[in-house]
Structure 1
């Protein structure tokens, strides 16, 4: 096959991270090619973020719902003083316009320095190739799993108990005992008079099976008085993805979740990727190393600290899970934010972890201490 014209940048994978990178690169004047088997495919997952995480260049119109004070319930109910939002996938898709990007429909068979080879033999040449294809499931990687249903607000109301949003609800009305691997209810309004009710395994290696989460959600909803008609037509969400990225040396630079921009304690990666896009694009436009721009020392330190947190969650006695999260969400908002968001301030992230360690009961302290010296 005849090679396509040379470009400044080839982005492989046009999910939210890759599409944002291609969009911003083209807007900065870089000749950009985007490669994906289905470049215009709609995004099915529910993406959410803390509103203050989103970059300033992104229109507020990409949010379908906003909750000023989401709630959590670990050992007791708490209100979080931080705005939370659910992204409007079609609006985000439109905002990340690719009209200035040469899009190529195809599946990458091989990626090398300066060249992408498609399965049909087509070669796409660019000064820089960046792999944004996301993370594939791998038994060696910790993962998050979830099973959810989208119900009318009136039907879901008994599960909400008057709350607009449950960021985490660890109450054990899902049929589990203290020694069982834990899962929580994630409940968010989606707009259009609908609510997502999702039973979530935060992290596991492997995560809880979806059938187990479905049964737990059924029990929880039944115990809260949610009555769903047998013939009701509702959407189902099935979630399974890695929450950690392997640290591998690759021939080409990676971006998004594949690069490790996924938070190992929440599974969130979209907002972090959107915030990091311009660092990469700026480096490309001035001829600097975009990998170094994406991963300066502070961000590498924050990543390592959060990996300690992941190890702690993976080894935490299930009986102490609710207590662990109650102590975390009892911390001041700025401490919570330092651990949950941002990649630039290792000292603040470490301070949050120390404060949690200092206030936690001894069994949790032992797990946190062991995680700081243990390697996965």
Structure 2
């Protein structure tokens, strides 16, 4: 059995590297268990508003950055409806290798174990992790940062979990699928869909010009339970491109994403701590998480380093300190508000959803930005939600208050395409 460490982190993705590197900065003895080499390349892209990185002084981690950032909330098919909504704020795409390198360099000294955690047993003093290889590792505290599907974290069952699903292509096209130099956050135009498809839950295009004739186009659903199938998303993306006379001439990379939007908060009395998707840190309103990792990781690491200095504290007490630092009551209440809002949006049909987002992005920039990044204090967040309600047309107010009536809920058979 290897020598015990202060903290064992489960996982090898952004959340695991983030918290391991932050703890390492405090001189905490950290070990990590990940099934793949910790420097293996990450398959998915990570986008972020540039001002989020400016808050933490990490704008240099962007590989691409756009000032022409827009959305489309019309139905499509006419000049007026096709008018873009300019966001007036820069958006960026992480250089994934640089982000990974940044965390790995800050984690110099962390002990990496390429293995898979099979069982986690916490006692009052220490926690043991039994791995698939037969190895057993011990730590004063274990942090599960292995993702939302982890079997080790307890959380209440609050019904079906809604997933945001996306299918995307990085490639070259017969002509630009969007305007050169542009980033499109949401294109909800639906003129490429059949009448039957428009009765199904809506999807939107997320797209960007990567330069040198390469574009990234991704068809995305906001949140569904169960989530959209990749086949349906791929078909809708193809229809969207066909409608605009655009053909894919070279596929450089395909992206498949599915992550939970309304995962319940974990049981915060358990002697095992979580971080990232395992800790329900995916933003229920946007699906984003990396900005939250960068903002909340340092505070959690500081709180844990201070708690670990007390050698009398065992796993349960350390985890309790961690949960309190990660999910203080302010953030819990904000999370509940976001969950409530998402529940309402999931019942909106395509036209109502387009109206909602057009209204939302008419709010002052600092308000919608703060809402999407979860950086507004609770009283201001509530104020923004009230302002949004006041600005909404009647049918949208009705949906926000009552939710969708059962006979208005869209029906969806994924096999129908």
TM-score by length of 2: 0.82
Q: CA deviation at 1:168?
A: 0.3
Equivalent residues, number? 366
**Corresponding residue SS for 2:331:** helix
Structural mapping, 1:105-144, within 5 Å: 105-113=114-122, 114-136=127-149, 140-144=160-164
Deviations for 1:253-296, whole angstroms, at most 9, x for unmatched residues?
Answer: 11112112101122111111121100111001111712111111
Question: CA 1:294 to 1:248, structure 2 compared with 1: closer, same or farther past 3 Å?
Answer: closer
Taking the TM superposition and a 5 Å limit, the aligned residue runs for 1:242-261 are 242-249=260-267, 250-261=270-281
Q: Is the 8 A contact 1:173 1:219 kept in 2?
A: no
Q: Look up the match of 1:346.
A: 378
Q: Which runs of 5+ in 2 are unaligned?
A: 75-82, 151-156, 308-317, 405-417
CA contact (8 A) 2:50 2:91 kept: yes
Partner of 2:92: 85
* 1:48 Cα offset (Å): 0.7
1:355 to 387, 391, 395: 387
1:101-130 CA distance string (max 9 Å, x none): 000111001223322221233221111111
Matched residue SS, 2:305: helix
CA distance in 2 between counterparts of 1:242 and 1:365 reads: 26
**Shift of residue 58, structure 1, vs aligned partner:** 5.6
Partner Cα distance (2:292, 2:265) in 1: 18
Rg larger in 1 or in 2?
2
> Relative to 1, partners in 2 of residues 1:259 and 1:82: Cα closer, same or farther, differing over 3 Å?
same
Within the candidate set 188, 193, 205, 1:175 is matched to 193
Shift of residue 59, structure 1, vs aligned partner: 3.6
Cα distance, 1:354 vs structure 2:
1.1
Matches within 5 A, 1:293-312: 293-312=325-344
1:332 corresponds, among 343, 364, 380, to 364
- 1:132 CA drift (Å): 0.5
Contact 2:162 2:226 in 1 (8 A): yes
Q: Deviations over 1:16-75 (max 9, x none)?
A: 011111111112211000110112321101111112223755643321101124101112
Distance in 1 of aligned mates of 2:110 and 2:229: 40
Q: Distance in 1 between matches of 2:3 and 2:57?
A: 31
- The answer as to whether partners of 2:283 and 2:374 remain within 8 angstroms in 1 is no
CA-to-partner distance for each residue in 1:212-264, whole Å, 9 max, x for gaps? 111111111111121234xx343211222212222332441111121121011
The separation in 2 between residues aligned to 1:96 and 1:192, in whole angstroms, is 29
Q: Alpha-carbon deviation of 1:318?
A: 2.7
Q: Is the 8 A contact 1:11 1:18 kept in 2?
A: yes
Distance 1:310 1:126, change over 3 A: same
Q: Quote the RMSD (CA, aligned, Å).
A: 2.2
Of residues 51-60 and 248-257 in structure 1, the stretch that sits farther from structure 2 once superposed is: 51-60
Contact 1:27–1:100 under 8 Å retained in 2: no
Give the Cα separation in 1 of the matches to 2:202 and 2:342: 15
Distance 1:189 1:227 in 2: 16
Partner of 1:65: 64
- Supply the distance in 2 between the matched residues of 1:5 and 1:331 (Cα, whole angstroms): 55
Q: Write the distance in 2 (CA, Å) between the matches of 1:329 and 1:270.
A: 22
Alignment map for 1:259-270 (pairs within 5 Å): 259-270=279-290
* Uncovered stretches (5+) of structure 1, i.e. residues with no partner: none
Tell me: CA distance 1:9–1:71, structure 2 relative to 1, closer, same or farther (3 Å). same
> Which residue in the other structure is 2:235 paired with?
215
1:247 aligns to what SS in structure 2?
Answer: coil
The secondary structure found in structure 1 opposite 2:263 is coil
Pair 1:191–1:311, CA change in 2 (3 A): same
The 2-side partners of 1:247 and 1:16 are apart by 20
Q: Deviations over 1:330-358 (max 9, x none)?
A: 11101102210135611222122111111
